[in-house]
Amino acid sequence: MQRSFLSLVFVALISLSFVSVLVVPVEVVAQVRTNNSGAPKKNNKGFFGWLFGGGKARMEQVRPKQRKSRRSSPSRSRSQSRSNGVAVVKAPKITEKEKSKDAKILLVVGDDLAKGLADGLRAVYAETPSIKVKKLVYPQTGLVADKNPDWPEDVTEALKDEDVGLVVVALGARDNQNIKVVEQGLQDGEPVSYAAELQFQGEEWKKEYRFRTASLVAAVRNEQLPLIWVGLAPAEDYLTSANFSFLNDLFTEQVEPAGGIFVDIWSAFQNENGEYAANGPDITGKPARLRASDGVYFTWAGYRKVAYFVEREIARIFGSATAFIFEGVKDDPNFIVLTGRLTSPETKLIGPDDKGGKAAAGSALHKLTVSGEPLPEVSGRSDDTRWNGF
């Protein structure tokens, strides 16, 4: 009987031991989740509690740190720095010939795009004494800036200070964003000013952006100067590229009706499939890297290629780079300037027979202008009425 009682006591003790093993780990885990110190007290756990509950406690302490370390992605920091900065262009050393005292100035206006383009044009006209390239550049800005800079005012001042012959504008790489403006209103019958933000491509945004573009165009055209506006090239990012195309349409709307020239460089920086191309032929026709790593700006070879397209338009305006040397001849009745001027004082073209006398009788000029006879038909020419086709 006594042995049976002792056996029951022994079984009861063993059962209590197993119960404690099942209960203690739960209490330890609860302490780990609620205790700010992060670790249970040593005198609150036994051998089994340390073996099972302590392991869970260590896992609870380590896992949050592992998750936190996974959140820090180096790629995100690279993308942020890539979007905030502008690729640095290493232009070669440009040695320019001494410019003449009456050299005309090409003023390049804009953002970082204008800076690279200005260097490209300096290389173009390095050997031309009659042309000097200067720039009015505000890096990392654009027309969406909060009236700082004031583009029309700054351009007007620059045109007063310099003997500018032509203005080239290149900007907009950062204009695919909202515009912050200051609106005027009334509060309790009193005029107040408050900040507002116009959503990109919204109707109010387009109205404001058109106004800012038109104001810059007017600042140049009011001085009766030729204006060349360089469009944006496609970007590597598809959405950015679509936004740039949208901005090009707005530029064209304001530039061309005012008599300016819009230089479309879009297709020049695409591949044969009409897609963005970082590489392509340079001005010599050799394959080269044309676009910067950010997918928006250009390398030196790219800026030089943009300058090539601008140079072509300048040649069309002035005839050639040496057209500037004819400054001052507009009052000479024997010198007719056929290119390079918006207006000309001459009202009459003089020909070889116009020396104060009359066309000689029997001459081709006399038959055409006096007798009204047609000129002899030339066989094979498009106006030969005798040609009946096949």
Note the pLDDT tens digit of each residue in 284-327: 999 999 999 999 999 999 999 999 999 999 988 876 544 444 44
pLDDT computed for residue 380 by the predictor: 65
* β-strand partners of 298: 291
Indicate if 178 and 312 belong to the same structural domain.
Answer: yes
Indicate if 116 and 207 belong to the same structural domain.
Answer: yes
Task: Calculate the CA 153 to chain-centre distance.
Answer: 22
Indicate if 213 and 138 belong to the same structural domain.
Answer: yes
Task: Report if residue 261 sits inside a domain.
Answer: yes
**9-13, 23-27, 74-78, 295-299: which has the minimum mean pLDDT?**
74-78
Indicate if 52 and 102 belong to the same structural domain.
Answer: no
Q: Are 343 and 148 in contact (CB under 8 A)?
A: no
Number of domains in the chain: 2
Indicate if 21 and 65 belong to the same structural domain.
Answer: yes
pLDDT computed for residue 194 by the predictor: 77
Q: What is the CATH number of the domain that holds 242?
A: 3.40.50.1110
Task: Report if residue 384 sits inside a domain.
Answer: no
Average pLDDT value for the chain: 75
Indicate if 59 and 156 belong to the same structural domain.
Answer: no
Strand 287-289 and strand 279-281: the pairing is antiparallel
Q: Is the bond leading into 139 cis (omega within 30 degrees of zero)?
A: no
Q: Record the pTM.
A: 0.62
More confident residue, 303 or 148: 303
Cα separation, 143 vs 155, in Å, equals 13
Q: Are 299 and 292 in contact (CB under 8 A)?
A: yes
Indicate if 168 and 306 belong to the same structural domain.
Answer: yes
Domain-terminating residue out of 307, 326, 345: 326
Task: Report if residue 350 sits inside a domain.
Answer: no
Q: Does the pLDDT value for residue 126 go beyond 50?
A: yes
Indicate if 107 and 141 belong to the same structural domain.
Answer: yes
Supply the range of the domain harboring residue 240: 95-326
Burial label for 302, CB within 10 Å (0-12, 13-18, 19+), is buried
Indicate if 245 and 284 belong to the same structural domain.
Answer: yes
What mean pLDDT comes out for the span 266-292?
94
Domain-terminating residue out of 296, 326, 356: 326
